[in-house]
Structure 1
Amino acid sequence: MTAATSTTPPAARAAHEHPHAYATGPATASSDILAQRPDFRAIARWIEPRASVLDLGCGDGSLLRVLQDELDVQAYGVEIRDEGVLACARKGVHVIQQDLEGGLALFEDKSFDTVILSQTLQTVHNTAHVLRETLRVGRECVVSFPNFGYWPHRLAVFKGRMPVSESLPYEWYDTPNVRVLTIRDFEALAPKVGLRILDRVVLHEGQPVTWGANWRGSLAVYRVCGV
């Protein structure tokens, strides 16, 4: 994408120019969503008011709707599934229908204050490429994922079965997840792909886990930037 001379934000230009960009729809209250999703609260505290935010694999747009309502951000999402795109439009969230695996060439370098991968990392094949592209597009990034090292998951594998839990709710044969990773796996990968970890919150049942995180936490949320 070439640089524009207008004052329109790069994110808005991308949504306007892309043939599969959707927007507008009635706003919805965010209080119920925050009550159900403590990881959204963890993410929101790292977002500055009125920042520009891109959510990769944004699903039904619930997180972006919360950020718009609570922080007045310029919010844009990328989602591949038709039902997710339609749900975003109903919530009044700008969304671009695109596959993350193909990269983010639509967006200029550092065109967003924050880029989010909220429980999306485990669903992509080309993990390192997606992380590098996330870093290229965002000044900072937030990455969250279910922790496969959580002790009931380990116990399930020890018993000879793939785990099914609140954070990994699918059976092995119908899961959208193509990767499984632990907290230690992500922290080992981070420097290899140019990530510097700025902050981390590990959760279980909505509560922070302050010790034994790799076996006691079911969900990890990271704030990162480039090295």
Structure 2
Amino acid sequence: MTGARPALRPDLAVIASHVRPGARVLDVGCGEGELMAVLRESGCDARGLEIDPVLVERCVARGLSVVQGDADRDLADYPDKAFDYAILSQTLQTAARPDRMLDDLLRVGRQAFVSFPNFAHWRTRAALMFGGRMPVTRSIPVTWYETQNIHHMTVTDFRELVSAMGVRCERAWYFTGTRPVGAAAANLLAEHAVFELSR
């Protein structure tokens, strides 16, 4: 008897529910391949790009099509519009140049999904204001010297970036834990954001 598949993170669940069955998908920074496995079940041709060789090995052991690579460099090698969807979940804030990575993401995919932690969440603000230290919170779970996050962006920052780049925001979702948050208060109340983009 096999155990039930673990529930996807809220951002990945939203993405999985909005990717068309049978689509060609590139999951950039795919981790252990949780999203790819779900997409494969819906008939998608899901491919992954992951920098961590241990995670690549785990994906391959699960029968997933993943290559090791650095998205900051290697996305440039993919042809234009090779995928229906390009996905970047909880990775943009680790990119050397998030704007260039978004450009490549939208070049490679006809549409893109991007999710990231919101560094303007009220807990993060409170930790800085009252503790005077870089926060360790549920959405930012490691100390400043251990984190891979090199760009601390907010929901408002991201909206302004895509607008300046001429990118269309098709839809957006915001969460605190697993609970949805309304768009009006997302910059203050959301721990994580998910955007569906096109150009």
**Counterpart residue number, 1:111:** 82
Matched residue SS, 1:32:
coil
Per the alignment, residue 100 of structure 1 pairs with: 71
Q: TM-score, normalised by structure 2?
A: 0.94
CA distance in 2, matches of 1:30, 1:170: 29
Return the alpha-carbon distance in structure 2 between the equivalents of residues 182 and 91 of structure 1: 34
Deviates more, 1:87-96 or 1:46-55: 87-96
Deviation of residue 215 (structure 1)?
Answer: 0.6
**Partner in structure 2 of residue 31 of structure 1:** 5
* Runs of at least 4 residues off by over 4 Å: none
Displacement after TM superposition at 1:184 (Å)? 0.1
| Preserved CA contact (<8 Å) 1:33 1:62 | no
Supply the AA of the counterpart residue of 1:199.
R
Q: Distance in 2 between matches of 1:195 and 1:31?
A: 35
1-structure distance, mates of 2:4, 2:25: 17
Q: In structure 2, do the counterparts of structure 1 residues 43 and 29 end up closer, same or farther at CA, with 3 Å as the change threshold?
A: farther
State the Cα RMSD in Å.
Answer: 1.5
- Report the equivalent of 1:151: 122
Correspondence 1:55-66 to 2 at 5 A: 55-66=27-38
Q: What's the offset of the Cα at 1:197? A: 0.2
CA distance in 1, matches of 2:174, 2:180: 6
Contact 1:103/1:129 (CA < 8 Å) preserved in 2?
Answer: no
TM-superposed CA distance for 1:68, in Å, is 1.1
Aligned-partner Cα distance in 2 for 1:141–1:115: 5
- Which residue identity is paired with 1:126? R
- Rounded to whole Å, the distance in 1 between the matches of 2:59 and 2:5 is 17
Q: Partner letter of residue 221 of structure 1?
A: V
Contact kept, 8 Å, 1:30 with 1:65, in 2: the verdict is: no
Give the Cα–Cα distance (whole angstroms) in 2 for the partners of residues 138 and 30 of structure 1: 32
Q: Distance in 1 between matches of 2:90 and 2:3?
A: 22
User: How far 1:29 moved relative to its partner?
Assistant: 7.4
Unaligned runs of 5+ in 2: none
Q: Which moved more, 1:40-49 or 1:178-187?
A: 40-49
- Which residue matches 2:43? 72
Q: Percent identity?
A: 41
CA distance in 2, matches of 1:167, 1:29: 27
Deviations 1:69-125 (A, max 9, x none): 2x2210000011111111111221101111111142321110100000000001111
Instruction: Determine which of 74, 80, 101 is the counterpart of 1:130.
Output: 101
Corresponding residue number in structure 2 for 1:46:
18
Aligned to 2:166: 194
How many residues align? The count is 196
Long gaps (5+) in structure 1: 1-27
d(CA) in 2 for partners of 1:46, 1:183: 21
Q: Residues of 1 paired with 2:180 and 2:190: CA distance?
A: 8
Q: Match for residue 141 of structure 2? A: 169
Q: How much does 1:128 deviate?
A: 1.0
1:220 aligned residue: 193
CA distance in 2 between partners of 1:64 and 1:91 (Å): 10
Task: Give the match for residue 15 of structure 1.
Answer: none
